[in-house]
């Protein structure tokens, strides 16, 4: 059995944050029905790399989802969603605030039809406030959260991540929020509305920056690959031109690293006893570590660090990830049959459960692949489905 096989989830969101949450629920067995526009499809279909015109982001993001194409701006499309909401546990949407209400699909109306429904609303800035109705994307959250301001080299510009970081964090947070709401439903018998702003979850991963600002007036500065909390922590180049990353978040690890690189005298310094103290002497520490590593090839450095039980890792690109034995042992990547591409390698579910593991049953499907099946389950006769298709309400 799978953990969430008794749940039906409507994924009416677009791009990354909301659909990521739905993907995680689908990975553990939820029946996820992806609703997208009959003619435009989900914008994520056109993002990133593609094979024969088929987007690979879409294949991963919409795995384990049934694809139904419904125009929710049309009255008949709205009726389809109402019927579906009556028979579902969760609705995930990311339209601008007021859109569902304009379409006569307000959460309070859907909850009247199905009091056990969880309505998960994901927007850039939340459902209220001065920016609520502005378009919001993960990039704006990365900018407004302080992430970009503290990322990059000290003498360089603020730096955005090369991926949908804030969206991914918000997707994880929304999956958690949905499970919390479902657990509460077991106690109360009632569904509820989740209001999540993409600008908020990323803040939680940036540490106590607001606490430090209010208490101390501290403003985080860009430190490159160094840390403001401990040292040595950086990337270092080996003799054979490879790059390694080192972290010394734990005091014993810091002691082992400097001892390994021939500077046990540093351990005796009073400032070495705390991460904050070591940060004040980061140049000296980095010089000791970097010079030792620069005289050796990567394989020797990694072996010596492992012998010393000190934390080190090579900096990988995707070619290295594909060959790494640890990822292979974990089954981090799987080959999945696909009706359009034959087969596709993608990242597996992100954790393992001993009794009810998740699985990837299929990758993202073509537009409208399951529309007829979904409508038949809602008691639409074949003749009505044909009329709706001829009118452009569905695909």
pLDDT in tens, 192-202: 999 999 999 99
> Exposed e or buried b for every residue in 224-254, given b needs 16+ CB within 10 A?
eebbbebbbbbebebeeebebebbbeeeebb
In CATH, what is the architecture of 233-237+243-314? 2-Layer Sandwich (3.30)
Per-residue pLDDT at 40 exceeds 90: yes
Active centre residues (catalytic): 167
Tens digits of per-residue pLDDT, 325-362? 999 999 999 999 999 999 999 999 999 999 999 999 99
On average, the pLDDT of the chain sits at 97
**Nearest-CA neighbor of 93 among 141, 133, 34?**
34
Name the segment(s) of the chain with CATH classification 3.30.1540.10.
233-237+243-314
Distances (CA, A) of 391 to 33, 40, 387: 22, 16, 6
Angle separating helix axes 17-27 and 165-188, nearest 10 degrees: 60
**Nearest-CA neighbor of 88 among 167, 44, 33?**
33
**Nearest-CA neighbor of 61 among 386, 372, 347, 393?**
347
Tens digits of per-residue pLDDT, 314-333? 999 999 999 999 999 999 99
**Nearest-CA neighbor of 135 among 92, 81, 99, 91?**
99
pLDDT for the residue numbered 394: 98
Mean of the pLDDT values across residues 1-5?
92
Mean of the pLDDT values across residues 378-383?
98
Residue percentage of the chain with pLDDT more than 90: 99
Neighbours of 198 (CB within 10 A): 31
CA-CA distance, 54 to 62, in Å (whole number)?
A: 13
CA-CA distance, 96 to 355, in Å (whole number)?
A: 40
Name the segment(s) of the chain with CATH classification 3.40.50.10540.
8-205+329-391
Mean of the pLDDT values across residues 102-114?
98
CA-CA distance, 331 to 89, in Å (whole number)?
A: 31
Per-residue pLDDT at 1 exceeds 90: no
Tens digits of per-residue pLDDT, 253-287? 999 999 999 999 999 999 999 999 999 999 999 99
- 8-205+329-391 adopts what CATH topology? Rossmann fold (3.40.50)
Mean of the pLDDT values across residues 30-46?
97
Sign of CA dihedral 371, 372, 378, 381: positive
């Amino acid at each position: 059995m799978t953990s969430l096989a008794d749940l039906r989830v409507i994924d009416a969101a677009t791009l990354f944050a909301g659909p990521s949450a739905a993907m995680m629920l689908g990975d553990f067995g939820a029946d996820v029905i992806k609703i997208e526009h009959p003619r435009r499809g989900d914008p994520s279909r056109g993002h990133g790399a593609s094979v024969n015109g088929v987007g690979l982001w879409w294949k991963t993001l919409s795995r384990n989802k049934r694809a139904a194409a419904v125009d929710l701006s049309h009255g008949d499309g709205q009726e389809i969603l109402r019927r579906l909401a009556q028979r579902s546990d969760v609705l995930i949407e990311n339209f601008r605030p007021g859109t569902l209400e304009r379409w006569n699909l307000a959460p309070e109306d859907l909850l009247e039809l199905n009091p056990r429904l969880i309505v998960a609303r994901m927007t850039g800035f939340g459902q209220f406030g001065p920016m609520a109705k502005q378009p919001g994307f993960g990039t704006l959250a990365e900018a407004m959260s302080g992430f970009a301001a503290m990322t990059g080299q000290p003498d360089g510009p603020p730096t955005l991540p090369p991926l949908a970081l804030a969206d991914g964090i918000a997707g994880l947070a929304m999956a958690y929020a949905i499970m919390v709401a479902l657990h509460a439903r077991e106690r109360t018998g009632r569904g509820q509305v989740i209001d999540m702003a993409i600008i908020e979850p990323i803040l939680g991963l940036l540490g106590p920056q607001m606490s430090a600002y209010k208490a101390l007036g501290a403003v985080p500065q860009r430190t490159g690959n160094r840390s403001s909390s401990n040292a040595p922590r950086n990337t270092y180049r080996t003799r054979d031109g490879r790059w390694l990353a080192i972290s010394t978040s734990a005091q014993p690890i810091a002691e082992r690293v400097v001892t390994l690189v021939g500077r046990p005298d540093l351990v005796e310094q009073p400032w070495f006893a705390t991460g904050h103290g070591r940060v004040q002497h980061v140049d000296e520490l980095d010089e000791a570590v970097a010079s030792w590593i620069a005289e050796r090839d990567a394989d020797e450095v990694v072996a010596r660090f492992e012998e010393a039980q000190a934390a080190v890792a090579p900096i990988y690109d995707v070619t290295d990830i594909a060959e790494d034995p640890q990822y292979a042992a974990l089954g981090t990547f799987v080959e999945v049959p696909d009706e359009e591409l034959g087969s596709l390698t993608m990242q597996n579910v992100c954790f393992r459960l001993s009794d009810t593991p998740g699985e990837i049953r299929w990758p993202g499907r073509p537009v409208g692949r399951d529309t007829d099946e979904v409508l038949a389950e809602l008691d639409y006769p074949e003749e009505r489905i044909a009329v709706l298709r001829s009118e452009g309400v569905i695909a």
